[in-house]
Amino acid sequence: MSLVALNPNAHKALKINAQQVPHIGANAHLIPVVVSEFQKLVVNYPIVFTKHADTGQFVCSALTGFNEGENLFWQEGRWQALYIPAQIERHPFFVGQDTDAQGNAKPVICFDDASPAIADTDGDALFNDDGTPTSLLNEKQQLLAQLLDGEQQTQQFIDALLSHSLITPIKLAVTFADGSEHTVQGLFTIDEEKLAQLSAEAIASLHAGQWLGAIYTLIASTAQIYALIDRKNQRIEHGNAWFS
């Protein structure tokens, strides 16, 4: 990866091949997500918590597969879902840091020069002829802003859940169509029983923090695990068809 700060003059002719963007998540079984996209995620994905490998702290993710390297939404070279998480969709752009004349840090948009989504000829332009950003670039900017704000908000969401001891491990043993067994490990969700037992004060504080919508959306999204199992079984059956 080689990150370059985006510049309207230098990168006037740069194009993005939108088809290539989701490629980046083809082998990811967990995609980091933010609270502000829960409403869209719930249409396709189970939203879960996992622990960061280095810090052990909870992070919020969309579950896209049962094993490392397995994205069950990635089929026949494309991402088959109504909504693609912002963390994927924002590619090949990143938020970098620059310092202004006063020496203050300010976020700048960078892009990955080595990304397969970067194109010179095929694809959609980032800048109009007059140098203003195209709607594509505006969209990407909004996604980056959503992620930047969302990271902090999602952390506050997790802290609020932890302060009420509402995070609990997912206990699920799955038998797939080929008879293979899989015990779900390292995934966490919201403890519905504890939620139901919370005091009026505790509920009021979650309400004041505007977390109740996210809590119930996340709980509802858990049912998507069964849709994910179905995707896995379909993949297994496709595999079998090849050999039969």
The residues binding other proteins (CB under 8 A) are 51-58, 162, 165, 167-169, 186, 188
> Which of residues 159 and 237 has its CB atom nearest to other proteins in the complex?
159
Residue 30, phi then psi, degrees to nearest 5: -140, 130
Whole-number minimum distance, CB 191 to other proteins, in Å? 9
**Running DSSP on this structure, what letter comes out for residue 36?**
G
> Which stretches of 22-65 are DSSP H helices?
38-41
> Which of residues 53 and 105 has its CB atom nearest to other proteins in the complex?
53
> Which of residues 54 and 100 has its CB atom nearest to other proteins in the complex?
54
Q: Decide: 66 and 175 in contact? Cβ < 8 Å.
A: no
Whole-number minimum distance, CB 156 to other proteins, in Å? 17
Task: Report how far residue 90's alpha carbon sits from residue 203's, in angstroms, rounded to the nearest whole number.
Answer: 35
> Which of residues 52 and 78 has its CB atom nearest to other proteins in the complex?
52
Whole-number minimum distance, CB 219 to other proteins, in Å? 16
Q: In terms of Cα–Cα distance, which of 174, 92, 88 is closest to 137?
A: 92
Q: Decide: 67 and 29 in contact? Cβ < 8 Å.
A: yes
Coil, strand or helix at 21: helix
